[in-house]
Chains A and B, each alone.
Chain A
Amino acid sequence: MAALRAWIDQRFPLTEFIEKHLTKYPTPRNLNYFWNFGSLAGTFLAVQILTGVWLAMFYKPDTTLAFDSVQHIMRDVNYGWLIRYLHALGPTGFFFAVYIHMGRALFYGSYKNPRELLWWIGLAIFLALMAEAFMGYLLPWGQMSYWGATVITNLFSAIPYIGSAFVVWLRGDYSVGDSTLGRFFALHTTLLPLAVIGLLVVLHLAALHRVGSNNPEGIDLDKKGPAVVPFAPYFITKDLWFISLIFTGYLSFVFFSPDLFLEPINLEPANSLVTPIHMTTEWYFLPFYAIVKSIPNKFAGIIAMFGAILILAFLPYLDRSPIRSARYRPLKKIFTWLFFFNFLALGYAGAKLPVGGILLMGRISTVYYFLYFLLLLLIPGFEKINPLPREEQT
């Protein structure tokens, strides 16, 4: 075995690679459990790719066959129901992990120097993931698949001058149809998951391993000092047990309550003549859906929705405080917690019809969503910072 290892190492940096990126990767030992969500998201990605490959063996991307082929998977394919439920509920786990992962970065200032590039690659993954989830949702060709894709592609018709031509270009037809299904299937199963998400994840890890993990204190730690430990075994066992814990929850939904995360009306085949009574999105899009619904002008709504994600890219420059962790920034701490609850409130408003109190709540939450970034820009001027701990205290 050792001889084989030596033979390979002479020709390929196998041991070096494993040591650098896994076993000996220096990791701050004071990381709390909010640092577990990156590996969790990666695990969900692996589940999605594996189950997706098996679904693609039986699924038919054709408007006359798609719906039936999903039922074929659910009924006739051995354990097809299991593979499909794992895949259908996977995004719930994936976005759950990604949102907490991003919230962690926000709270502990992980986007700050020198981790700007790491943060931007992460945002690109988030955007690709949203496109991936949106396109995948069309494939079962149910009522909500069809109308969701119709409504979302239709948003782009509000772009001045080129809007309607752009929508036709996106759909490949004047309405969502066979060519839309074909291109969504192609992108969902090839380019997006492997080239975009796969490649970006590698870049994300490469950037992380250059700059090292941030930590709850937000201070720079000496990579050779006692505050930093090798990844193996400490973070292997810590990640494993936590993934196992979250997967127990995920699998209990897959086996006992998959309905909770699936829209019943999507079990009716797509029908271009009948609109569902209540249009909704998957839960992970609801906060952004609420922003669109809160703004009376359609074009302004789209700008705000994309702006809500784009503004995150400017965080390293909006938040100029030299202190990373919100633990030592009392004002940022309060506003960031408010931002998290506000995000949940946006999600709630997104799930309801935008009338009366819900509309008002959606609008106030939309305002605070953007106000938060202005506050980050302003507060370093007068925020009283708590004393930072020294490395030995971590």
Chain B
Amino acid sequence: MKIRLPSVHWQAIAALTVTFLFPLTIIAAETETSKIDLDFSTAAVKRGAVVFTVLCQNCHSVKYLGYQARLSAKDTQSAFGKAPPDLSLMAKARGRESAGEKYIYALLLSYDQTPQKNSLFPYIAMPPPFSQDDPERPAKAKDVAAFLYFAAEPAAAERKMLGSYVIGYMIILTVLLYLLNRKTWKRIKKKSMQ
């Protein structure tokens, strides 16, 4: 008597491929969009926090970190026509992964050609954040972007750190459970060969 059993192996391989390969292609596509070289280091975040308190905090708050704007929203609104937004979540509200950080970096540096107006985002009311002859403008913009990216999700570093342990554990668990399953089914396969 010939008995057909589902072959565990090819189905396992197919399931693995679908589960992991497909999302990886999305990640690859997402991260290839821009070639801006970002700095995610803690040092950059700290420098960015200093730049923020000196330059940006006059008008902008980062309320979830406790940074209040020095000028009242009413005053800034009457000066620029719009109330300056809170920047707590801006770095993640403007794009997935690091796209939002790149957005902020690009925004801060797009005052070059027309000093009083932003060339990339003509509708924003913000005047140039840096003086135009400041040679450290790109470095400062990068640090502020790093600071705001941190501000948007302070737990991100802990999340990734913990993640490697969790995934390591899950991989070992999955392999062990797979072997256990193979062992339980071996009994039936042996029986059905007779």
User: Chain A contact residues: over half helix, strand or loop, or mixed?
Assistant: helix
Residues of A near B1 (CB, < 8 A) are 392
B155 contacts A75, C-beta separation under 8 Å: yes
A234 adjacent to B188 (CB under 8 Å): yes
Interface string of B68-110 (1 = CB under 8 A from A): 0000000000000000000011001111110110000000000
Interface residues of B in 129-158 (CB under 8 A from A): 152-155, 158
A30 touches B5 (CB 8 A): yes
Stretch of A193-201, A249-257, A292-300, A301-309 lying at the B interface: A249-257
Inter-chain CA distance A300–B99, complex, in Å, is: 39
Closest to B14 in A: A33
Question: Given the interface contacts A255-B162, A259-B96, does A245 sit within 8 Å of B19 by beta carbon?
Answer: yes
CA distance A71 to B185 in the complex (A): 48
Residues of A within 8 A of B3 (CB): 392-394
Quick one: given A257-B97, A393-B2, are A229 and B88 in contact (CB under 8 Å)? no
- Whether A265 is near chain B, meaning CB under 8 Å from some CB there, is yes
> Is A251 in contact with B167, judged by CB distance below 8 angstroms?
yes
> A9 at the A/B interface (Cβ < 8 Å)?
no
Residue in contact with B170 in the complex, picked from A30, A31, A71, A244, CB distance below 8 Å: A244
Complex CA distance for A256 and B166, rounded to whole angstroms: 11
The yes or no answer to A82 lying at the interface (CB within 8 A) is: yes
B163 engages A256 (CB within 8 Å): yes
B contact residues around A216 at 8 Å (CB): 6
Does A241 sit within 8 A of B, measured CB to CB? Answer: yes
Q: Does B174 contact A245, Cβ atoms closer than 8 Å?
A: yes
Q: Does A267 contact B (CB under 8 A)?
A: yes
Check B6 against A247 for contact (C-beta < 8 Å): no
- Chain A residues 241 to 283 lying within 8 A of chain B, measured CB to CB, are 241-242, 244-249, 251-257, 259-260, 262, 264-265, 267-268
Q: Is A126 in contact with chain B by the CB < 8 A criterion?
A: no
Is A32 in contact with B11, judged by CB distance below 8 angstroms? yes
Q: Decide if B180 is an interface residue (CB 8 Å cutoff).
A: yes
The B contact surface, by secondary structure, is helix
A226 to B3, CA, bound (A): 10
For A241, give its contact among B100, B154, B159, B180 (CB under 8 Å): B180
Cβ-based interface call for A238 (8 A): yes
**What's the count of A-B pairs with C-beta under 8 Å?**
126
Does A240 count as interface, using CB distance less than 8 angstroms?
yes
- Whether A33 lies near B192 (C-beta < 8 A) is no
Kindly state the separation between the CA atoms of A75 and B153 in the bound complex, as whole angstroms.
8
Q: Which of B22-30, B53-61, B114-122 contacts A (4 or more CB under 8 A)?
A: B22-30
Partner of A81, one of B92, B96, B155, B184: B155
* A255 & B163 in contact (Cβ 8 Å cutoff): yes
A82 to chain B, nearest CB (A): 7
Interchain nearest-CB distance for B152 vs A (Å): 7
Q: Is A377 an interface residue (CB 8 A)?
A: no
- Give CA–CA (A247, B169) in the complex, Å: 11
For residue A74, CB closer than 8 A to chain B, the reply is: yes
Asked if A352 is at the interface (CB within 8 A of a chain B CB), the reply is: no
B193 at the interface (CB under 8 A from A): no
Identify 10 residue pairs between A and B in the complex whose beta-carbon atoms are under 8 Å apart, listed by A's number: A30-B4, A33-B6, A33-B14, A233-B184, A245-B16, A252-B163, A254-B163, A268-B89, A393-B3, A394-B4
What 10 A-B pairs have minimum CB-CB distances, sorted nearest first? A255-B163, A241-B177, A267-B93, A237-B181, A248-B170, A267-B89, A259-B96, A249-B19, A81-B155, A244-B174
B interface, CB within 8 angstroms of A:
1-6, 11-12, 14-16, 19-20, 23, 26-27, 30, 64, 88-89, 92-97, 99-100, 152-155, 158-160, 162-164, 166-167, 170-171, 173-174, 177-178, 180-181, 183-185, 188, 192
